[in-house]
Structure 1
Amino acid sequence: MRGESRRAAIEPFYVMEVLKAAADRALVKGDVLSLVAGQPSTPAPAPVLRAVHEAIDADVLGYTEALGIPPLREVIAAYHRAESGADVTAEDVVITTGSSGAFSLIFLAAFDVGDTVVVARPGYPGYRNTLAALGCRVVELDCGPATRYQPTVAMLEALPKPPAGLIIASPANPTGTMIDPHELAAIARWCDDHGTLLISDEIYHGITYGGATSSAWETSRESVVIGSVSKYFSMTGWRLGWMLVPAGLRPALQRLAANLTVCPPTVSQYAAIAAFTPESIAELDGHVRRYAVNRDLLLRGLPELGFRDLAPADGAFYIYADIAHRTNNSAKWCADLLDATGVAIVPGIDFDTARGNQTVRMSFAGATADIAEAIERLRSF
């Protein structure tokens, strides 16, 4: 029997292993408080649920255009114009099967085997692992507290030569930190000047706690912006994302999308149009207010328990904590915590290939009562 390919020899996503361990315990003891999953704990907005029923009743729901239905592309373009002031048209928008599908498509469209792509460490492992599977050379920038866990122009200037691509995320997973708008603009200009494709992951826009977000397209229309209905819009399982892409990359994306996925999920496309209505936005902003309460509980409670080195949680719904004073094996520490208390959190090994054995990530997207109870169980541990 033929074995697996070399490109499949990438690291697993350890978050999924923790989710399974938590689910196994829940079946036996029923006491799990999960601070694991990077997803909202709420359903899609009410207008979206109504829209999906209407679409199921009224439409055949066959294939759509490979790059998405025009009404959704127009709604997303209008959303970006309102949010950032960037000049975005429907033609600039490419609808994808989740933001994961967007990354796969743009990596295939823009990078060749052997190209160097730079990512931040700590950072979302899907960037690194997908690039590796496609034969790209991944270079990690060590981004610590001194730069708020984000890359800078100075780091790019220190590279031996400009890379083919740079991926940034603001707000970021796992840290929740954001790039200052002036620094983001400077990064975008540097990439334009050096022939580096900037890919700006902006899927957590809308979930922030006082700071200002900015979009790469405010500075550079040669960059790529990634969006999704999964986070702020509370539609994770609907598997729908999008990209704002330069005109020169659209023909390649058209060809790749048509061959690899035919089209994004049709029912999700029609339903997602309703996610951008004022009624939906009001509901979603209510979720963000709950996230803010949960965030404050953790930022107050964790230092009392000895978690003093926390990344600035500017946005998203994560707390990223250094636990080097407690362990040098975060995976075992998290397993022991789950076994002793029923509280499930994620070891940092997914996000940081150098120091992830000394860090953990906690999601605060759940119910406020669960966050408060998790703190008390952590206190006993």
Structure 2
Amino acid sequence: MERIDRISSFIVMDILREAKAIGDVIHMEIGEPDLDPPPSVIEALEKAIKDRKYFYTPSLGIWELREKIAQHYYIKYRVNISPHRVVVTTGTSGAFLVAYSIIMSAGEKIVLPDPSYPCYKNFAHLLDITPIFLPVDESTSYTINVDMLKEYKDYKAIHISSPSNPAGSVYSADTLVSLIRYCDDRGIYFISDEIYHGLAYEQEEHTALEFSDKAIVISGFSKWFCMPGFRIGWMILPEELLQKAEKVIQNVFISAPTLSQYAALGAFDYTYLNRVREIFRKRRDFLYEELRQIFDIPVKPEGAFYIWANIERYSEDAFTFCERLLREAKVAVTPGTDFGSYKTKKFIRFSYTKDKKALEEGLRRLKDYLMK
């Protein structure tokens, strides 16, 4: 099979394109915040343009931003991180590509939860790395634990996300510690996608860096910081991987977008960011209570901005169900099959990245359609 044939479409983006062509659609499919970034982001961006800050930067990122990100880990988690270990990337997508390429070779294996963010497996296929899918469901709140890992052998890395996409589950400190120790003891790379940190509603999220300097942590500015189109993210790497990462970035990206890097210097306004969290918490609470009246929801999301809903009472085929919702009810949601194959035909994912008025209208259309 050709490499490109192993890469699946990112279904949610296909749905977004179709929804925009239809018009008058309530968008509950895409994980893109509708809120503005902190005002200081726009100020920093305008200053960068005025100061002609639109040339290449060092491949690992401007030093000021690497320092800011390192400082963020102390402010939020009380973890001391050297700015030298911070790598600024072209979104988290760029970080995934770089991380996979520097720790694995073609034919090696990586363990991924199923369901999980679909691009993980596609980056693996792009690099001829073999994804091993570990089924997760409500019995473990859609998280991986050490006992589940023991069934698998000869893999080079494990990749988790917390809060997770699509279920919004947050890994506890105890689960993270046991997973990281298991990996460290066996020379397995532990990759923690923390892009939804800052959007945890039931408990404080923990960074993997609290428990090991060997962990590879990936995060960015698209979600909590409300900067999706800036395409700016970061990695925290062990010292021994920095030169390898720099080599890849030099050749593939040259550097992350310059104006976005300078804009991100203004992102760490925690008063504003706390308001962002509360807005999404209120949306979560509202949508969860409404949706559970018409769908079976196996776990209440603890973070991110998604609700994972079972549709078995209406359909056995999530993709067809979503197509009908889009065309007949003008509500766009994402089929579970975008996120893997384990029980995913029975699920759809709702995103609450629209204001309450839009969510209310989406719910009205959903109920009217389902009553038919």
TM class by shorter chain equals over 0.9
Q: Counterpart of 2:15?
A: 18
Q: Counterpart of 1:143?
A: 136
Q: Counterpart of 2:285?
A: 296
- Which among 261, 273, 284 is matched to residue 284 of structure 1? 273
Q: Counterpart of 1:229?
A: 221
**Equivalent residues of 2:111, 2:134 under 8 A apart:** yes
Letter in 2 for 1:64: T
SS in 1 for 2:283: helix
Q: How many Å apart are 1:282 and its aligned residue? A: 2.0
List per-residue Cα deviations over 1:272-295 (Å, max 9, x = no partner): 01101xxx3222322221211111
Among the aligned pairs, what percent are the same residue?
34
**Equivalent residues of 2:193, 2:219 under 8 A apart:** yes
**Equivalent residues of 2:109, 2:130 under 8 A apart:** yes
- Which among 107, 120, 124 is matched to residue 127 of structure 1? 120
SS in 2 for 1:371: helix
Q: Counterpart of 1:338?
A: 326
Letter in 1 for 2:280: Y
- Give the TM-score taking structure 2 as reference length: 0.97
Distance 2:276 2:239 in 1: 35
- Give the TM-score taking structure 1 as reference length: 0.94
Distance 1:162 1:326 in 2: 41
- Which among 62, 65, 68 is matched to residue 72 of structure 1? 65
Letter in 2 for 1:377: R
Q: Counterpart of 2:4?
A: 8
Closer/same/farther in 2, CA of residues 315 and 60 from structure 1, 3 Å limit: closer
2:354 pairs with 1:357? no
Distance 1:204 1:227 in 2: 8
Closer/same/farther in 2, CA of residues 60 and 274 from structure 1, 3 Å limit: closer
- More divergent stretch after superposition (70-79 vs 339-348): 339-348
**Equivalent residues of 2:162, 2:196 under 8 A apart:** yes
Q: How many Å apart are 1:367 and its aligned residue? A: 0.6
- Which among 336, 347, 358 is matched to residue 348 of structure 1? 336
Q: Counterpart of 1:174?
A: 166
Distance 1:311 1:273 in 2: 36
Distance 2:308 2:281 in 1: 16
**Equivalent residues of 1:162, 1:195 under 8 A apart:** no
> Counterparts of 1:95-114 in structure 2 under 5 Å?
95-114=88-107
SS in 1 for 2:30: coil
- Which among 282, 303, 328 is matched to residue 315 of structure 1? 303
Letter in 1 for 2:187: G
Closer/same/farther in 2, CA of residues 374 and 310 from structure 1, 3 Å limit: farther
2:111 pairs with 1:118? yes
Q: Which runs of 5+ in 1 are unaligned?
A: none
**Equivalent residues of 1:165, 1:199 under 8 A apart:** yes
SS in 1 for 2:170: coil
List per-residue Cα deviations over 1:53-88 (Å, max 9, x = no partner): 110011242111000000000000000112122220
Q: Which runs of 5+ in 2 are unaligned?
A: none
Distance 2:299 2:348 in 1: 11
Distance 2:337 2:299 in 1: 16
Letter in 2 for 1:333: F
**Equivalent residues of 1:84, 1:215 under 8 A apart:** yes
Q: How many Å apart are 1:354 and its aligned residue? A: 3.0
**Equivalent residues of 1:156, 1:162 under 8 A apart:** no
Q: Counterpart of 1:37?
A: 30
Distance 2:159 2:17 in 1: 29
* Structure 1 segments (4+ residues) deviating >4 Å: none
SS in 1 for 2:340: coil
Q: Counterpart of 1:192?
A: 184
Q: How many residues align?
A: 368
Q: How many Å apart are 1:162 and its aligned residue? A: 4.5
Distance 1:85 1:153 in 2: 26
SS in 2 for 1:222: coil
Provide the aligned C-alpha RMSD in A.
1.2
> Counterparts of 1:186-265 in structure 2 under 5 Å?
186-265=178-257
**Equivalent residues of 1:148, 1:312 under 8 A apart:** no
**Equivalent residues of 2:53, 2:259 under 8 A apart:** no
Distance 1:194 1:262 in 2: 34
2:51 pairs with 1:63? no
**Equivalent residues of 2:53, 2:258 under 8 A apart:** no
